[in-house]
Structure 1
Amino acid sequence: MKLKRKFILLILILFTTFLVGCDEFFSFNTTTAHQMNLTTLPTAIDGTITFEEIDYTSFSDYVSPTYSIDDINEYNDHLEETRDHIRHCNIQIQTTLFEMRYPHPLAQEQQEYIVGNSSGSGFVFLEEDGYFYAITNFHVIDPQAYNSRYEIMTYADEEPQEATVVAYDEDYDLAVIKFETLERTDVEILNIYERLYTKFIHEELVFAIGNPLGVTNNVSFGEFKSMQDIDNTEFKVIYHDALIEEGSSGGALVDVDGNLLGVNAWGLDTPDEYSFAIPNYIVYVFLINNGVLD
């Protein structure tokens, strides 16, 4: 297994851009193993679920057929397919903050003044009624009491398109935006259900997709380490070592098959390069409680 892992890491080095760091240093259709029976998911009571009702230790173990592939070429082909798939799910998000004010004391009409902007990542998880829906972090779209404008670009877009915020929760640091599908054919949907309510496996291979430092659709890889408590959340988060950087916030953390594990959100700029993601079951709670999913 150790030898196989070394081969995998060597091949990935040839295909992956590696960047370091994270967004906020605490200041601030691919192959799937099987189709999850949605009846096994927790039932919302009066339309809501709370994360306190979820016991991670009771989750079932997860085994993918990919884990049993013993041909190195077949395995590496699968990794490339996963990499390409999540790039087609990824989006860039540009947030512009502005306010309306009079340009001078005698002016009769207000003008728009830009007071700030930021960029981040997100991923498409739903297509419905002529719209794509994407998940990101709240701090990527946070209007901070200003007027705001959101623009996105998908994998093959050449021009940005306006997007609308559908739901958000500052405590979970999550948000959903939507934008018109138009004539796009290169956008793919990330599977948010396959790994839902299954344990993350110690040292399993993970991929992080995002747009760090203006590098679009960047994929890095690492391992799942553990579930950790951190100061700025009330729930345990995923600790992994896939490298992320400013602009990666809101990007997906996925398994070897491209299934959602979490949403990258925080990190520490240290020699160990800690990276943290909001786990998929917290994302699901957020989507249910805000009426995005039934």
Structure 2
Amino acid sequence: MRKWWLTLFFLLFMVIVAGCDAMQQPRPYVPKADMQSEAALVMQGKLMETREVIREAAIGVEAVVFRSGFLRAPLTQTGSGYVFYEDENYYYALTNHHVVDRGSHPRAEYTVTLFYRDGANPSVSAELLFKDDAYDLAVLRFAKGTHTIPVRDISTRLNAPLKAGEMLLAVGNPSGINMIVTFGEFLSITTIESVAFPVIFHSVMIFSGHSGGALTDLDGNLVGINAWGNSTDNSSGLAVPLAKIMEFLENHDFIVNYFETTHTDENEMSLHPD
């Protein structure tokens, strides 16, 4: 009888020890490289998602300037634009002043090109509503017709300053290649010659033809309009900050229903490190 109890006690002891060992087993080791690969895949997915979002409101802009003088051929200027507002009959798009400016020439005609995922690229006649060389900004409008363009609230980042190293995306139509999206980082708020206000300095690759296109955050929210590239290389660019875009619109009495009547103070657009 005593032997039987000893045997039972020994078996229970082994079960308890085995259970404790099982609970103390370490989690499977995940190599650091695999964790980094997973994070990279998540970021890649986010970039692809945002790329499609910002493409939806991006347009191509063409200005045909009829020059003064006998038998002088028209001058064609091209760039990019970003649809930021709509009403019952029209879409409204931001672009750069230097893309649409006709200078001292008598007239210009404007056309915008829309880009759809099915490959259709219809061109639509547009009207220049107002422009301002001091901001290097302009607003075009064009008839909605049967076209459908998703319009996002551009005021989302108005009171959320950019942070050092924050990822940014740019969309534009450089060298006749449509809907190119590039990405990089916010570097700083800086000043440049001939511009009276601080501008966004970033490491997003900018090419000729990006002028007037949107600069957005990783969620596709507008933070600026690209206006100037680097004269020595394409690895950085400069953009008009969102606060100045809003100021430009207000100066021309263009206040739409989702805009706040006050905008971020310029000092709040300074560099904010993490």
Normalising by structure 1, report the TM-score: 0.70
Q: If you compute each CA radius of gyration, which structure gives the higher value, 1 or 2?
A: 2
Do the aligned residues in 1 keep the contact of 2:207 with 2:234 (CA within 8 Å)?
Answer: no
Provide, for residues 186-206 of structure 1, a one-character-per-residue CA deviation record: whole Å limited to 9, x for no partner.
x22243111003211101110
Cα 1:144–1:127 shift into 2, 3 Å = same
1:144 aligned to 2:106? no
Q: How far apart in 2 are the matches of 1:100 and 1:170?
A: 21
Q: CA deviation at 1:72?
A: 5.4
Q: What amino acid maps onto 1:80 in structure 2?
A: M
Provide, for residues 37-56 of structure 1, a one-character-per-residue CA deviation record: whole Å limited to 9, x for no partner.
xxxxxxxxxxxxxxxxxxxx
Q: How far apart in 1 are the matches of 2:233 and 2:111?
A: 34
Aligned to 1:280: 242
Q: How far apart in 1 are the matches of 2:41 and 2:121?
A: 34
Q: CA deviation at 1:73?
A: 4.7
Aligned to 2:156: 194
Aligned to 2:186: 224
Do the aligned residues in 2 keep the contact of 1:123 with 1:190 (CA within 8 Å)?
Answer: no
Point out the more displaced range, 268-277 or 199-208.
268-277
Aligned to 1:178: 141
Query: Alignment identity in percent?
Result: 34
Cα 1:83–1:172 shift into 2, 3 Å = same
Which 5+ residue runs of structure 2 have no aligned equivalent?
A: 1-32, 257-274
1:54-69 → structure 2 map (5 Å cutoff): none
Aligned to 2:80: 121
Cα 1:101–1:233 shift into 2, 3 Å = closer
Provide, for residues 221-246 of structure 1, a one-character-per-residue CA deviation record: whole Å limited to 9, x for no partner.
00000000100211100000100111
Aligned to 2:61: 93
Cα 1:289–1:271 shift into 2, 3 Å = closer
Q: CA deviation at 1:74?
A: 4.7
Q: Which of 20, 29, 47 lines up with 1:79 in the alignment?
A: 47
State the 4+ residue runs in structure 1 displaced beyond 6 angstroms: 100-103
Aligned to 1:133: 92
Q: How far apart in 2 are the matches of 1:193 and 1:268?
A: 27
Do the aligned residues in 2 keep the contact of 1:227 with 1:239 (CA within 8 Å)?
Answer: yes
Q: CA deviation at 1:99?
A: 4.1
| Highest RCO, 1 vs 2 (Cα 8 Å, sep ≥ 6) | 1
Paired residue total: 221
Q: How far apart in 2 are the matches of 1:149 and 1:94?
A: 8
Which 5+ residue runs of structure 1 have no aligned equivalent?
A: 8-69, 104-112
Provide, for residues 104-133 of structure 1, a one-character-per-residue CA deviation record: whole Å limited to 9, x for no partner.
xxxxxxxxx533111000000001121000
Q: How far apart in 1 are the matches of 2:104 and 2:69?
A: 15
Aligned to 1:256: 218
